[in-house]
């Protein structure tokens, strides 16, 4: 069983500690409704069904809505969302 020895370059190396990364600003805080709210989202000229899961103010200052559509999550501009 001598052929089962590890090759010297196959040894995992752990990264060394580095200085903390500076953040560009505070993360936006997302609020969430008590339970998902049925909404419609304008995408590609069509309105599709989804669920609103939360809201936040984006980095550019625009209000955004977290929408779930068949398990996919996406932040969408609030002006592209309407209630069902």
Give the tens place of pLDDT for each residue, 9-32: 555 565 565 556 555 555 566 677
Domain membership of residue 28 (yes or no) is no
pLDDT attached to residue 61:
85
Domain membership of residue 1 (yes or no) is no
Residues 58 and 65 sit within 8 Å (Cβ to Cβ): no
Neighbour-count burial for 10-39, b at 16+ CB within 10 Å, e otherwise: eeeeeeeeeeeeeeeeeeeeeeeeeeebeb
Q: Is the pLDDT of residue 46 over 80?
A: yes
Alpha helix positions (H), the chain = none
Domain membership of residue 31 (yes or no) is no
CATH of the domain at 52: 2.30.30.30
Percentage of the chain modeled with pLDDT above 70: 63
**Which DSSP symbol is given to 27?**
P
Percentage of the chain modeled with pLDDT above 90: 48
Number of domains in the chain: 1
């Amino acid at each position: 069983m001598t052929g089962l020895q590890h090759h010297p370059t196959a040894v995992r190396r752990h990264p060394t500690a580095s200085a903390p990364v500076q953040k560009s600003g505070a993360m936006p805080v997302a609020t969430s409704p008590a339970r998902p709210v049925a909404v419609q989202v304008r995408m590609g000229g069509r309105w599709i069904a989804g669920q609103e899961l939360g809201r936040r103010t984006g980095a550019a200052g625009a209000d955004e809505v977290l929408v779930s559509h068949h398990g996919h999550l996406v932040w969408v501009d609030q002006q592209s969302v309407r209630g069902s």
